[in-house]
Amino acid sequence: MTMAELRLIPPAALLWVVTLIIIGTRTPWWALALVFVVGVGVVFWDVGLALTTTVIGVLGVLITSIRAIIVDTTTIHPVVTATAASYAHRTNTGWIQQFRIDDYPVTLPVITHQRPDIPIGTLTDTASVVIPRNVGDFDKQKVRELFAVGDKVVIQMGYNGELLQEFEGFITQVSADFPITISLSDAMWKLRQLSVNYVSAKASLKTFLTEVVKDYPLEVEDISLGSVRFSNTTLGAVLDKLQKDWSIYSFIRAGKLTIAKPYSDVKAGKEIKHFDLERNCTENNLKYLSKEERTIKIIGTSSFGKGKRLQYEFGDENPKTTLKMTWHVSSQAELEKEVKRLYKLHKREGFEGSFTTYGTPSLQHGEKIRLSSTLYPDRHGEYYVDRVKKSISNAQYRQEIEISGNAL
């Protein structure tokens, strides 16, 4: 070992020791005392090395102390609520599924040995309002009097006094201290709590919901469910089962509880809003996938008559995406035709991911949009919107639009 290498030992060893001292004692004073003692000791060997060792030791104490304070003052909730953002797909060692946590910028992968039985999150609209600490004439002691769980809330957004209603729902949670965060959910929050005790040998979705949901407008496809027994459960649990087993989603649209495919309200002739990625988009997190990169499997089912059920799977091996869809056909040939048609539809090359645009034109999930690129004119196409996140902060009104490559 050369003399130059030996000179690295004192500062490196000191840095490790002071880090361990702060982690163990949660105070910088003992570590600083050690830095002083070591610095004085090294002076008798080399003044320049003593100065370097002391500076490195002090910086180590400072950085480690700051990180220790951050760790000690950060509250980690024992329960984190996440929503499934993708279907599970197989890996070499098990299964992987993406989950989304509110206000976290990216989805998080969860790996399991067994296939998870968790459906993609329902299309319930949620919102949050943050009231900063410096709001005048505001008594924080009366927060829960002003904002009570269950209170109705309407949020309007827009430019130059021209406002659109972007959200209507109820307060579901109010934080205890500043900045006050008010969590909101649309009418699904209350509807999902309805008690359900329902038994029928030949049930239809419309008949079932008409009996359970008595005081809220409905828009429901008349789908045969066959023989069902829902005992001592809630409407939320039943809707989750419909989504998992039938790929039928529940959401509030135009003031009605709508039970349908996510894109079933898209009508021919409806104006399609156009977005150019270089002109009216402020941020672009999209990637362009070829047909070969877009691997998918379609699992199609059909129930009809007295409990009769058909199933057909078609697609790529080891797919990145697996879609479970329900059709209402009465023959295996018809089901296979629909599954292959949907597979061909999804195998087109196109964009996947998200982009951010201005607050208008206003979008909702399930709408069809047209995307184009000035830089890549050959990459234009039409897509369904999977998710919309709207925000107003620092006088900026934005929409984050998420698409999953459903090019049409």
Question: CATH code at 404?
Answer: 2.40.30
| C-beta atoms surrounding 13 within 10 Å | 12
Q: Are residues 279 and 374 in the same domain?
A: yes
Do 362 and 278 fall into the same domain?
A: yes
Which pLDDT score, from 0 to 100, does residue 319 have?
84
Name the 3-class secondary structure at 67: helix
> Over pLDDT 90: what percentage of the chain?
4
Instruction: Find the angle CA(364)-CA(368)-CA(371) to the nearest 5 degrees.
Output: 110
Give residue 342's pLDDT: 83
Strand order in the sheet with 381-384: 273-276, 368-372, 381-384
- Let me know if 279 is exposed, middle or buried by CB neighbors in 10 A (0-12, 13-18, 19+): exposed
Mean pLDDT of 29-35: 88
Residue 158 and residue 64 share a domain: no
Q: Quick one: tokens of 399?
A: 């929409």
Looking only at the bridges linking them, the beta strands covering 180-185 and 126-131 are antiparallel
Same domain, 357 and 382: yes
196 occurs within a structural domain: no
Residue 104 has pLDDT above 60, yes or no: no
Does one domain contain both 62 and 164? no
Rounded CA gap, 190 and 150, in Å? 9
pLDDT tens-digit readout, 49-62? 888 888 888 888 89
Structure tokens at 375: 């830089």
Residue 308 belongs to a domain: no
pTM of the predicted protein model: 0.61
Residues 275, 384, single domain; the answer is: yes
Distance CA 37, CA 31 (A): 10
Cα–Cα dist 379/386, whole Å: 20
Please tell me the predicted confidence (pLDDT) of residue 358.
92
Tell me whether residue 244 is in a domain: no
The distance from CA 60 to its chain's CA centroid, rounded to whole angstroms, is 38
Residue 67 in this model has a pLDDT that exceeds 90: no
pLDDT of residue 86: 57
Are 277 and 364 members of one domain?
yes
Same domain, 30 and 65: yes
Q: Give the number of other Cβ atoms within 10 Å of residue 227's Cβ.
A: 11
Answer yes or no: do 104 and 148 share one domain. Answer: no
**Whether 68 and 8 share a structural domain:** yes
What is the C-alpha separation between 244 and 120, in angstroms, rounded? Answer: 8
Domain extent at residue 49: 3-73
Instruction: Give how far the C-alpha of residue 305 lies from the chain's centroid of Cα atoms, to the nearest Å.
Output: 38
340 within some domain: no
Q: Is residue 172 part of a domain?
A: yes
Q: Give yes or no for residue 356 having a pLDDT over 90.
A: yes
Residue 295 is assigned to a structural domain of this protein: no
Contacts of 171 (CB under 8 A, 6+ apart): 147, 148, 149, 150, 151, 153, 182, 183, 184
In a domain, 325, yes or no: no
Query: Does the CA dihedral 329-334-338-343 come out positive or negative?
Result: positive
Tokens 């001592």 label which residue? 232
pLDDT interval class at 179 (50, 70, 90): confident
Give CA–CA dist 86/120, Å, rounded: 6
Same domain, 393 and 276: yes
**What is the total residue count of the chain?**
408
With contact defined as beta carbons under 8 Å apart, do 365 and 123 qualify? Answer: yes
Give the model confidence (pLDDT) of 275-285 as tens digits: 998 888 999 88
- Tell me which H or E stretch contains 313: strand 308-315
Query: How many domains is the chain built from?
Result: 4
- Residue 33 within any structural domain of the chain: yes
Is the same domain home to 99 and 169?
Answer: no
What sections of 329-401 are H helices per DSSP? 332-346
**Radius of gyration of the chain, Cα coordinates, nearest whole angstrom:** 29
| Residue whose C-alpha is closest to residue 167's, from 392, 383, 385 | 392
- The 10s digit of each residue's pLDDT in 125-177 is 888 888 876 666 666 666 767 888 889 999 999 898 888 888 888 988 887 66
